[in-house]
Amino acid sequence: KRRNPHQDEFVQAVQEVAEDIFDFIADKEEYHEQQILRRIAEPDRVVSFRVCWEDDNGNIRVQRGWRVQNNNAIGPYKGGIRFHPSVTESVLKFLAFEQTFKNALTGLPMGGGKGGSNFNPKGKSVREIMRFCQSFMTELYRHIGADTDVPAGDIGVGGREIGYMFGQYKRITNQFTGVLTGKGLEWGGSLIRTEATGYGAVYFLDNMLKHKGDSLDGKVAVISGSGNVATHAAEKILHLGGKPITLSDSGGFIHDPDGLTQEKIDWVKTHKTHRRGRIKDYVDAFKGATFHEGKTPWNVECDVALPCATQNELLGDDARALVANGCIAVSEGANMPSNLDAVHVFKDAKIMFAPGKAANAGGVAVSGLEMSQNSARRAWKEEELQVLLRDIMDGIHDRCLTYGEMGGGYTDYVRGANIAGFKKVADAMLAFGVV
């Protein structure tokens, strides 16, 4: 806290990891001597820059942009770009720190980074968004590269924004390289990238249940968010025989006791992405559903829960409500949606709890596969990628078991993910000497 004043999210993320790592390295002299945890918790660099753009009324607007390059011990920095008014240096440092462990867990050669701006895309015209993206890339281009740092999308940054940024990178550098992932299929993107995070979070949930001899069949799922991750998580829950009953956005949540169908999910995708609508409109489109303004869905009875909106959206009392209502498993589609108090509640109750760095790694994993396809200058088939995604999520589950089996049939997935991710990065850093 003293080293990072006013960076609460970053301190929270480091604290969560440190709890497990201290225990693991207690009898491992080399990690202490080399101050490895402290080194991973200090980003290699944080670049902060001005993003100046002109709105449709001719006003000059000034925003702040960042790229946090946390660690490149096992591969080029890799992590998304977020455009949201809540973006601060602390938020991006926590995300870049988490990303380092997540990327290590995938087994692919990717370091950790994250970037973004406090720019709010809501209510902006397409031209304004384009001008902002171009201005953002006019500075960012000098810090990134296919073998240096490969950003992707995140909250507020989808295929369209990646297109504008990629176009500007290409214009400035005259290079067509895999410098960004999440690209359109016509110009270097990978199949199933859009679906990968949500699908992956459900595969991980399925793996946890199977490890206990259970399955998703007939399970009622409560999901937050209504963006990319949430809608694809809902879709995969359906594919595997479960019943998703909620979605949300920053205005509140909808509860559909009949369950979301593919048709309803497709409506939400179009409404949120193309019409830039609000989730509350769902109740006008589909009878039987209710809207709960300003609320999160954690008090709704369920078997499994998937927080897929944003950080710190599931607090201690929410976790207690989930446990009291009989929820047996939680898989985090978002990054750090559960605060420390909530994580402790899940751990104490010994329910299955998959932290984001393990459960939502499917997206970055397919981004890693997009990098491989770009390097080879070819595109793999959907079936090949589906198998690879499932394999990668199975691999992450296995890595979590290596360090997370606590005896008595309980697996601490937070500990498993933290230690497996840390060990891979730490061992690479040890091999490189003190730098």
Residues designated catalytic = 114
Pairing of strands 352-354, 329-331: parallel
Site for ligand NDP in 220-259 (CB under 6 A): 225-230, 249-251
CB of 435 to ligand NDP, least distance (A): 29
| Interface stretch with ligand NDP, choices 42-50, 137-145, 306-314, 319-327 (CB under 6 A) | 306-314
**Candidate ranges 103-111, 297-305, 332-340, 388-396; the one touching ligand NDP (CB under 6 A):** 332-340
Q: How many residues bind ligand NDP (CB under 6 A)?
A: 23
For residue 243, the minimal CB distance to ligand NDP (Å) is 20
- Give the nearer residue to ligand NDP in terms of CB position, either 78 or 138: 78
Which residues make beta-bridge pairs with 249?
Answer: 252
Please, what is the minimum distance in Å from the beta carbon of residue 41 to ligand NDP?
20
78 is in an annotated binding site: yes
**Does residue number 363 form part of the binding site for ligand NDP (CB under 6 A)?**
yes
Query: How does 298-320 read in b/e, with b if 16+ C-beta sit within 10 Å?
Result: bbbebbbbbbbbbbbbbbeebbb
Q: What are phi and psi of 83, to 5 degrees?
A: -115, 110
Q: Closest-CB residue for ligand NDP? A: 227
155 counts as binding ligand NDP under rule CB under 6 A: yes
Residues of span 52-91 touching ligand NDP by CB under 6 A: 86
- Sequence-distant (6+) residues with CB within 8 A of 248 are 223, 224, 225, 226, 230, 254, 279, 296, 297, 309
CB of 319 to ligand NDP, least distance (A): 17
Known binding residue 197? Answer is: yes
Query: Is residue 110 near ligand NDP by the rule CB under 6 A?
Result: no
Query: Tokens in use for 380?
Result: 């793999």
What gap in Å lies between CA 373 and CA 382, rounded to an integer? 13
Binding segment (CB under 6 A) for ligand NDP, from list 10-18, 207-215, 307-315, 407-415: 307-315
Q: What does 42-100 look like in DSSP terms, one character per residue?
A: S-SEEEEEEEEEE-TTS-EEEEEEEEEEEE-SSSSEEEEEEE-TT--HHHHHHHHHHHH
E strands, 225-280, are: 243-244, 246-249, 252-255
Cβ closest to ligand NDP, residue 25 vs residue 95: 95
Does 368 bind ligand NDP (CB under 6 A)? Our answer is: no
Structure tokens at 373: 């396809």
Closer residue to ligand NDP in complex, CB, 86/325: 86
Please give, one letter per residue, the 3-state secondary structure of 387-433: HHHHHHHHHHHHHHHHHHECCCCCECHHHHHHHHHHHHHHHHHHHHC
Query: Which of 107, 109, 89 lies closest to 43 in space, CA to CA?
Result: 89
- Residue 153 known to bind ligand: yes
79, 178, 188, 333: residue in contact with ligand NDP (rule CB under 6 A): 333
Of 32 and 252, the one with the shorter C-beta distance to ligand NDP is: 252
Euclidean distance between CA atoms 247 and 307, whole angstroms: 10
Measure Cα distances from 8 to 14, 49, 247, 320, 353 in Å.
Answer: 10, 22, 27, 23, 23
Is residue 112 part of an annotated ligand binding site?
no
99 binds ligand NDP (CB under 6 A): no
Is 181 annotated in some ligand binding site?
no
Q: Which of residues 190-219 bind ligand NDP (CB under 6 A)?
A: 197
CB nearer to ligand NDP: give 190 or 411: 190
Stretch that binds ligand NDP, among 149-157, 205-213, 386-394, 426-434 (CB under 6 A): 149-157
Integer angstrom CA distances of residue 168 from 37, 84, 87, 162, 187: 37, 21, 23, 10, 14
Pick 155 or 327: Cβ nearer ligand NDP: 155
Residue 407, annotated as binding a ligand: no
The distance of closest approach from Cβ of residue 406 to ligand NDP in the complex, given in angstroms and rounded to an integer, is: 26
Among 70, 360, 373, 411, the residue binding ligand NDP under the rule CB under 6 A is 360
- 154 touches ligand NDP by CB under 6 A: yes
The burial of 2, by beta-carbon neighbours within 10 Å (0-12 exposed, 13-18 middle, 19 or more buried), is given as exposed
Smallest separation (angstroms) from ligand NDP to the CB of 272: 6
Buried b (16+ CB within 10 A) or exposed e, 278-295: ebbbbeeebeebebbeee
Residues contributing to the annotated binding site for NAD(+): 197, 228
**Interface ranges with ligand NDP (CB under 6 A):** 86, 154-156, 197, 225-230, 249-251, 308-310, 313, 333-335, 360, 363
